[in-house]
Structure 1
Amino acid sequence: MSITFGLALMAASVAFAAQRPDEKIVVPLDKGIPDTLVRHTVEVALVSEGPQKGLKVRFGVTDWPNVYFRPRQGVWDWTGYAGLAVDVYNPEPIAQQVNMRVDNEGADGVNNCNQLGTTVPPGKWTTFRIRFNRKGDDALWGMRGLPITGPKGGGAVLDLTRITAFQVFLARPTTEHTLILNNFRLYGKGAREDKVAMPFVDRFGQYRNGDWPGKLKAEAEFAERIRKEEAAIKAAPLVHRDKYGGWADGPTLKATGWFRTERVDGRWWLVTPEGKLFFSVGVDCVGPGEHTFIDGRDGWFEWLPEENGPFAQFIHRQQGAHSMAEPIRGKGRTFSFYCANLVRKFGERWRERWEQTSAARLRHLGFNTIGNWSDWGFMAKAQIPFVASGSLAGSARKIEGGGGYWGKMVDVYDPGFARAAEEGLSGVARQFASNPYCIGYFGDNEIAWEAVERGPLASPPDQPCRIAQVEMLKAKYGDLGKLNAAWETNAASWDALRVPEKVNEACRQDLSAFQYAFARRYFETCRAVFKRHAPNQLYLGCRFSSAPRPAVRACADVADVVSFNLYYREINPADWTGANELPKPIIIGEFHFGALDRGMFHEGLVPCLDQAERARAYADYVRSVATCPAFVGCHWFQYVDEPITGRWFDGENYNIGMVDVTDTPYPELTQAARRIHADLYRLRSSTSGGVR
């Protein structure tokens, strides 16, 4: 089946699906709105006639508006099925992203649940399927999206004998939206329905069993692709930029020889070392990397390098995978098809030519920043502004009573915390302290700030942050009885004190005060390390994903720039201005969009229907950031598509690259990027909407 028409049906087949013999309705609508439905910032009505019949849901403006379904009694047993499906109709004139979540007891959006998102085109029915992440489903392991069936539900392995609820929700909508839902049903069998023809990965690291525009068929095609790209770059240089990518035709401010921030006419800007206004548009992970496991995958690949052959340099051994590599216990041999393709494309001098090509490509497309996690050697040579990062090292104690997707939160009151910051952050600062192209440094990434609310008091009595929090509460209340009265708790001792299930206003204020104190200590310690070793460059914060307000406030009080990873369709300026405005500028460390029409198995965190919509989404996002006065830039994650068999660390295999595994730019996306970037400084300095 053609990828162009086939893979686009993986996560959401664009047709109204009749019930099949192997399907089972779980929420019937024939007798009206189910009394087990719970509404969270939604209005619900039943449309019983016409082509758009079903449950009409008007989603309100809040973080997670949803319709939430529970079993009439007990729990559901969904053992015999592959996943949950719902038909969705979008009556609005634009595509809409919608999400589904399936819960075990204790689900919180990260733990004990599966969730998935898809995009519903305007004026059409779409079948949205979430395939369960189930125990023993490891024949095709290590991939978040699968051949033929597409994205799996992200999250924990579910106990399918004890499903407590499921919900359909929108993620932080900025306006109200309406969708019609119908045919809530289980589908498929517990075993995989679709057999994947083996091998399914070709010698270039592409999907072998399909075809699509731009698929590489032979090595001989590389020469023509090089010729075409070089000609395009030579024919159309980007104009009106200074040597740093700043606004050459704009005003000249004080030049300090280093990047800095300044607010001009109500808008935050970065300022280049020569004093020109600068808005940062970047790409993360620019480097010849991205390895995938090859051990434990017999029959998957039509070709793998010989151990002593010319491509053996790209075989590595990795251990300590974060997730999705349980069949090989998280360790084994990996290989980079992207690096192998660079050798095929450029020959023996592949590294040098890749650096030259990538730098020229980024400039041609209007990118003026090399984003986080990029290759240090490339950053040092490219003469393009860049950001860099470090992560805490050492053995500082973690908050034992807290969780976190990437790991538990460090305890900033532990005596080893300052040493961990020095060991983890000083190296990168020393490396680039004398380089004026270095904008500044991030410390850490997407750390578990949510754990600071309940984690300390859920930890053992000797946990340093627990001791600090209890001391703060003692200083305020004096004795436990007064605290119990204020919090409406009945703790028998300070050691027994926990955050109550229902938090009243007094408790909320106390928790926020400690969150701020904790975060302030974290940011001040990290800033001190960076400023000690690189005093002229900016401290860019911690790349918030989870972002409790007290922690964000502390970051804004300490860092030069506050950073967030914001996987939205667009930025809503009301969320970042007015009463929500921070006293420091904001930079976006990550965003992306993906689709399934180019041989990939997962769209990433913000799905699109195809490459054309992906291109439109990029332009809309950058426009929304550039026209919001609080922001000074946004960085796309990432430069190259992830391997179709999953990156070794956690199985991500998303279509999120500016280029594919053969180092070929996606024409729709890159052309859209060049167009919006060419209009960037006019957009930033005016209130008009810019080009579309």
Structure 2
Amino acid sequence: MLKRIFILFLLSSCSLSVFAQEQELYSFLNKPLSDKLLAIGVSIMPVEANQQNESLRRVVFNNTEKPRLTLTSAWDLTEKDSISLRIQNAMDWDLTLYVTLTDTDNSTLNAVIALPAGPAQNLVIPLESFSSRTWGMREGITSWQSGGNLYLLPTSVVGKIDPSKIDTISLSMDKPAVAQSLLIGTMNKTDADVEQMAYYHLVDKYGQNTRMTWPQKILSNKQLKTMAEEESQELVKWSKNTPTQDIYGGIGKRPQFRASKYFRTEKYKGRWYFVSPNGYAFISLGVNTVTPDDSQTYIDGRDFMFASLPDAKSVLARFYGYANTSSGNAAQGGLGVDQGKWFDFYQANLYRTYGINFLDEWHENVIKRFKAWGFNTIGNWSDNSLIGLHKLPYTRSIYIRGDYNTVSSGLDWWGYMPDTFDPKFSQAVDDAVKLATKDNKNDPWLIGYFADNELSWGKLGDSPTDHYSLVMNVLAQTDTSPAKQAFLKQLKGKYTDIAKLAKAWGINVQQWDAIASKGFNAPQPSAEYPAIEQDYGIFLANYADHYFKTVKDSLKKYDSHHLFLGNRFAVKLPEVISSCAKFCDVISFNTYTMLASQGYDTKLIAQLDRPIMITEFSFGSKTMGALWGGPISVTNEKERGESYQRFVSDAFADPHMVGTHWFQYIDEPLTGRLLDGENGHVGLVNITDRPAHELIKKVKETNINLLEKIR
């Protein structure tokens, strides 16, 4: 504790160096010693001066399987927290470097370093496991500047060693396509707490990154208000140049289809459309998570990261709260911060901008923005009060929860799959649909319902084992599993005799009980035994049919007016998509790809000839202080806008496309959202509610042009 207090004191004193307590482990500037330094696939070149006239030794990692440079000695680092290495990427592109520490018991500590091109830096490696997820973030700090020096952290450190018995330290790369050069200097042992160094006072009072500056960074409350007023005037101008639409956002001056009081779909002249309640053609240009109440970030356990939090007696204290989001899902794997006190920077900034009536102002501003920017749909997970204003169409989700049997697919990002053959699942669906439709079934502004989100129908890989992982895990369950009983019934109906199944599958079983038993090791699909994949495929389709038919029947029971918009697929298996096409009005995909057409099987959709939607996509960047650029990260705001234009244009080149929904409205908090630590710059507006202008200009242009073109 005293050491941590001392380091925090050093961090707050810009004239002091946090690396004052360094001791040399090895200097690469000295003549290489053959008994200390082993080079395999690495060429050790002479010492040279870099662009800053600093002497460093060039080492070249050649095009071999795993070139590595290994230091051998006996080091006792018991009293130290980390090692540091002066290093420079001598290439014009980023590199991935691996550093491995091994002790005399052959235990290892493995660090992965994303080494950017540029000037020399101090690479600092903690002597214990570490990742940004330890601190509750999807991605954390990997580089920062202090006292005129650049510092670099690994993206992850995994493993455990005895620091008193370290005998090798190696630097390696994974088979470079071409020779890669590094410039390296001295390796030191240090007592610096590098995590404290990296994250101390990372976040300012507005929730922004203190380490970076950018245009529109908020420095005062006055600036917040001024920028909000300037945007308001801009929205007035932009709103004058929007295409003619009906009250629901339908396209054109007159209806092209039959009015039906509710949204529906129809194919006309080779293209699918939504049809507005008044009979106008409608394409859904939407945004997900349009809510002021989803930007909380935990502060408990990491309060040192926040430079200026409101006093408990401040008017902004209303934006503190407590939560426990621990779930055990794969999405939370390794997350070290998942409960405790949180603060909501976004709503605090709205209060600073608009005062006590900030929510009313926010609602009004969102509507104005959507109209001016060419959006016409409020997507999933959005604010109920905003939806209730009945200014924009919206979608709803049906979340099915219950005590039914579940099955792991091995992915399980948001949890295990429901056993769709379990009668308890049918009851859970009935309860969920009844609840979801209760206040919406007569609302003409509702487009329709999604069932769940990104269910784990299989794994994300391309192998047959990944494809049928759910099916194979069904066979591993006990004979009381309703899904397994259904699969056994299918197999017995086809083969009758266990010997026929054994021959078709190439397995050694003499009784059906062997397959019925818990832990049965399902055979992997293979070309030698094609019946395996055939049977797995039939069962997977049956499994999906039970899911979609059960939901469809309940929707027909409780709300026959509105559309069933599918499952928001992340895992896109043809058997499941084909099943969805049979029971759903629209097939929906979540895809993080550069082009929409890269996110689904266009040939399959053409065969099925059903309307489709992209229900999640986005392009982020590490500009504007972000630590994570989202699933698809591009260089800057200009490229975000250009990527949006390419994606949406590509999407509607497919005549089956009826909508695209961006994820999400607001940037995720710098230190991670409560749910799973995601902290991407993927929003249309940032944490201070300021629009990403270069992105928005291109979004507006794209949306308006598309609406003009399609009508």
Q: TM-score under structure 2 normalisation?
A: 0.74
Conserved in 2, the CA contact under 8 Å of 1:88 and 1:181? no
* 1:63-462 map, 5 Å: 135-137=129-131, 141-149=135-143, 158-159=158-159, 182=180, 192=194, 195-196=197-198, 198-237=200-239, 238-249=242-253, 252-289=256-293, 290-322=295-327, 323=332, 327=336, 330-399=338-407, 402-450=410-458, 451-462=469-480
Determine whether 1:537 maps to 2:539.
Answer: no
CA drift at 1:501: 3.2
Bigger CA drift: 296-305 or 626-635?
A: 296-305
Relative to structure 1, the CA distance from residue 442 to residue 486 in structure 2 (aligned partners, 3 Å threshold; closer, same or farther) is same
SS of aligned partner of 2:230: helix
Residues 401, 680 of structure 1: CA spacing in aligned structure 2 closer, same or farther, 3 A cutoff? closer
Change (3 A) 1:630 1:472: same
The answer as to whether partners of 1:81 and 1:186 remain within 8 angstroms in 2 is: no
Structure-1 residue corresponding to 2:10: none
CA contact (8 A) 2:289 2:379 kept: yes
Structure 1 equivalent of residue 148 of structure 2: none
Aligned residue identity for 1:515: L
Q: Is the 8 A contact 2:141 2:199 kept in 1?
A: no
In the alignment, which residue of structure 2 is the partner of 1:547? 572
Structure 1: runs of 5 or more not aligned: 1-18, 31-51, 56-66, 72-78, 91-96, 103-112, 170-178, 686-692
Instruction: Sort the Cα spacing of 1:133 and 1:485 in 2 relative to 1 into closer, same or farther, 3 A.
Output: farther
- CA distance 1:380–1:300, change in 2 (3 Å): same
Tell me the secondary structure at the aligned position of residue 649 of structure 2.
helix
Which of 537, 545, 552 does residue 527 from structure 1 map onto? Answer: 552
User: How far does the alpha carbon of each residue in 1:583-639 deviate from its partner, in whole angstroms, 9 at most, with x for none?
Assistant: 321111101111112111000100101111111111111111121112111111000
Q: Which runs of 5+ in 2 are unaligned?
A: 1-26, 30-36, 44-59, 69-76, 100-109, 145-151, 162-169, 459-468
- 1:666 counterpart = 2:671: no
Structure 2: which amino acid aligns with 1:479? D
1:557 aligns with: 582
Of the three residues 627, 642, 646, the one matched with 2:653 is 627
Kindly indicate whether residue 517 of structure 2 is the aligned counterpart of residue 517 of structure 1: no
Alignment of 1:13-28 (within 5 A): 28=41
Matched-pair identity in %: 29
Aligned ranges for residues 557-596 of structure 1 at < 5 Å?
557-572=582-597, 576-581=601-606, 582-596=608-622
SS of residue paired to 2:274: strand
Q: 1:610 aligns with which of 590, 615, 636?
A: 636
Describe the shift of the 1:575–1:332 C-alpha distance in structure 2 as closer, same or farther (beyond 3 A): closer
- Distance in 2 separating the partners of 1:499 and 1:487: 10
Which range moves more in the overlay, 139-148 or 319-328?
A: 319-328
How many angstroms does 1:648 deviate by? 1.3
- What is the root-mean-square deviation in Å for CA atoms of aligned residues? 4.3
* CA spacing shift, 1:479–1:313, aligned 2, 3 Å: farther
- Highest Rg: 1 or 2? 2
**Contact preservation (8 Å) 2:133, 2:336:** no
Residue 62 of structure 1 corresponds to: none
User: 2:624 is matched with which residue?
Assistant: 598
1:278 alignment partner AA: F
Confirm whether residue 507 of structure 1 aligns to residue 532 of structure 2.
yes
Question: Within 5 Å, which residues of 2 pair with 1:467-482?
Answer: 467-482=485-500
Structure 1 residue matching 2:303: 3-state secondary structure:
coil
User: Going by fraction, where is helix more abundant, 1 or 2?
Assistant: 2
Choose 420-429 or 317-326, whichever is displaced more. Answer: 317-326
**1: distance between equivalents of 2:272 and 2:88?**
45
- Counterpart for residue 173 of structure 1: none
Question: SS state of the match for residue 317, structure 1?
Answer: strand
| Pair 296,577 (structure 1): closer, same or farther in 2 beyond 3 Å | closer
1:144–1:152 CA contact under 8 A, matched in 2: no
CA offset at residue 484 of structure 1?
1.4
What secondary structure sits across from 1:632 in the alignment? strand
Count of residue pairs the alignment pairs up: 595
> Match of 1:599, as an amino acid?
G
The Cα offsets for residues 542-592 of structure 1, whole Å up to 9 and x where unpaired, read as 111012211111011110101110100012389544455233211111011
